[in-house]
Amino acid sequence: DIVLTQSPGTLSLSPGERATLSCRASQSVGSSYLAWYQQKRGQAPRLLIYGASTRATGIPDRFSGSGSGTDFTLTISRLEPEDFAVYYCHQYSSSPFTFGPGTKVDIK
Amino acid sequence: QVQLQESGPGLVKPSQTLSLTCTVSGGSISGGGYYWTWIRQHPGKGLEWIGYIYDSGSRHYSPSLKSRVTISVDTSKNQFSLRLSSVTAADTAVYYCARAPVCANDCYPLDFWGQGTLVTVSS
């Protein structure tokens, strides 16, 4: 199984600041089939990024993804109040498909 | 646009079978082209992929749950279902249904999700 590790566990920032979230895979994620999801309390995850760097429909351009192989990054250029949430990376390259443990972005 | 909605008992006794249904609206489940998927999230924890069904009969399950899981589809009702047998407290979780486009020239992740339903395993 591909194990995904996310860091940091919690990121405390202020609105307007830049957020950089990391996702590291235990083995190479083929074809960069790596996605990022945002989850708010009591809600289902929302797809932000797929293919490591492609924004999903309707996602603001302050969200960007990068990386390949085993190291991936989600960047939120300027945090808006609605961006404080938990973010998960997810690999859909190799079964069983797996998720990272999440990074919580909270208000400093 | 497509919507998914989970339904089923919120409380299941240990050793019994958990049964959930996902009703799909805004699109046909029989048209092919999607992996109809179940995922769960233990309280306060991360997400766990359970498995999917596609083409109305092909299935793929997580090895860790494979011996206890069955996913099926009812095209007449535009629904797909999850059965998890011999449950224990460790199966207490929010269960989500979702879909992902079938890989063709490229693969895509889960794009539409249900709101999730909490299932508690307790006597």
How confident is the model at residue B96, as a pLDDT?
Answer: 98
Range 44-83 of B in CB contact (< 8 A) with A: 45-49, 60, 62-64
In this complex, which of A90, A96, A100 lies closest to B109 when CB atoms are compared?
A90
Q: If you ran DSSP here, which 8-state letter would residue A43 be given?
A: S
How confident is the model at residue B57, as a pLDDT?
Answer: 82
Taking CB atoms and an 8 Å limit, are A96 and B116 in contact across chains? no
The burial of B96, by beta-carbon neighbours within 10 Å (0-12 exposed, 13-18 middle, 19 or more buried), is given as: buried
CA atoms of B87 and B35, how far apart (whole Å): 25
Which of chain B's residues have a Cβ under 8 Å away from the Cβ of A95?
60
Q: What average pLDDT score do residues B30-52 get? A: 93
The share of chain B scoring above pLDDT 70, in percent, equals 99
Which of chain A's residues have a Cβ under 8 Å away from the Cβ of B108?
50-51, 92
In this complex, which of B109, B114, B115 lies closest to A50 when CB atoms are compared?
B109
Which of chain A's residues have a Cβ under 8 Å away from the Cβ of B42?
none
Q: Return mean pLDDT, chain A.
A: 96
How confident is the model at residue B91, as a pLDDT?
Answer: 98
How confident is the model at residue A69, as a pLDDT?
Answer: 96
Q: What average pLDDT score do residues A33-56 get? A: 96
With beta carbons less than 8 A apart as the criterion, state whether B83 and B18 touch. Answer: yes
CA atoms of B120 and A59, how far apart (whole Å): 34
Give A65-89 as a 3 state SS string: EEEECCEEEEEECCCCHHHCCEEEE
Residue B31 pLDDT greater than 80, yes or no = no
Q: What average pLDDT score do residues B31-41 get? A: 92
Residue A93 pLDDT greater than 80, yes or no = yes
Q: What average pLDDT score do residues B38-58 get? A: 92
